Every structure is written in C-alpha cells, then in structure tokens.
C-alpha cells in the first residue's frame, strides 16, 4: 500500500500517501476500496492513539466519495477524534488532494477488552 506519511499539526494527526498505478480501478481513478483501506489504517491509527494505545477493531466505517483521485496525486488525510467513551471511539476524517476534498469518512471503533 505504502509508503505512508504521518505528522501532527495543532494536536491533529495528519496522514498522507501518493496514489500510484497499483491503486487504480479500471477507469483510471483511485479505487474506492483502496481509499477505504487507507481510511481503515489512518482512522484506526487515530483511534488507537485516542484509546491511549489500547488495541481497537473497526465496528463501522462510512465513506462519501466527493471527487476522484488520480495516479500521482498526494492524498492527505486529516483525522479527528469526535468522542471517546470507555469502550467506543468515534473518529472522522477528510481526505484531500491539493486542498480539495476527495473523500470524507466517519467510523466507530471498539476498544478491545473494555465493556
């Protein structure tokens, strides 16, 4: 999938990757499954931090596809922890190319071992 990049800006985790030929669908756009795979990785990483380093598993992930991304695009993902409870973490994110949003995602994560 990679390489993937990660940095912190004003407390928010920002991730990024370059889309290349491997990530495309038959129409030459980045495959929605690929984008959701990155969403699972990036939002999951944010959830893991939000849970204080405990393991989390995906309960639900919803993605909206605002525009198509192409090979060569640098796709940036800004994550936000919306709510943390003892057992559940709510994480949302926007994916953008050059400042234009290509995908937004919201997700629910279960903190393993908590109830």
42 sits near other proteins (criterion: CB under 8 A): no
- DSSP string for residues in 51-111: TTT--EEEEEEEEEE-S--BTT-EEEEEEEEEEE-SSEEEEEEEEEETTEEEEEEEEEEEE
Does 75 help bind other proteins (rule: CB under 8 A)? no
Least separation, in Å, of the C-beta of 9 and other proteins? 25
Among 40, 48, 87, 88, binds other proteins (CB under 8 A): 40
- 37 lies in the site for other proteins, by CB under 8 A: yes
Name the segment binding other proteins (CB under 8 A); options: 4-12, 17-25, 45-53, 81-89.
Answer: 17-25
The token pair that represents 13 in the structure block: 């985790």
Binding-site member from 5, 7, 12, 64 for other proteins (CB under 8 A): 64
Instruction: Identify which of 44, 50, 56 has the alpha carbon closest to the alpha carbon of residue 105.
Output: 44
Segment near other proteins (CB under 8 A), from 6-14, 25-33, 75-83, 87-95?
Answer: 25-33
């Amino acid at each position: 999938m990679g390489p993937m990049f990660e940095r912190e800006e004003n407390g928010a985790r920002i991730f990024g990757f370059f889309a290349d030929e491997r990530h495309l669908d038959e129409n030459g756009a980045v495959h929605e499954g690929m984008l959701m795979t990155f969403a699972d990785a990036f939002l999951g990483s944010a959830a893991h931090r939000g849970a204080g380093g405990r393991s989390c598993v995906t309960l639900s992930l919803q993605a909206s596809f605002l525009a198509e991304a192409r090979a060569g695009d640098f796709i940036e993902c800004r994550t936000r922890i919306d709510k943390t409870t003892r057992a559940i973490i709510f994480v949302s994110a926007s994916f953008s190319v050059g400042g234009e949003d290509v995908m937004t995602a919201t997700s629910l994560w279960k903190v393993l071992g908590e109830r």
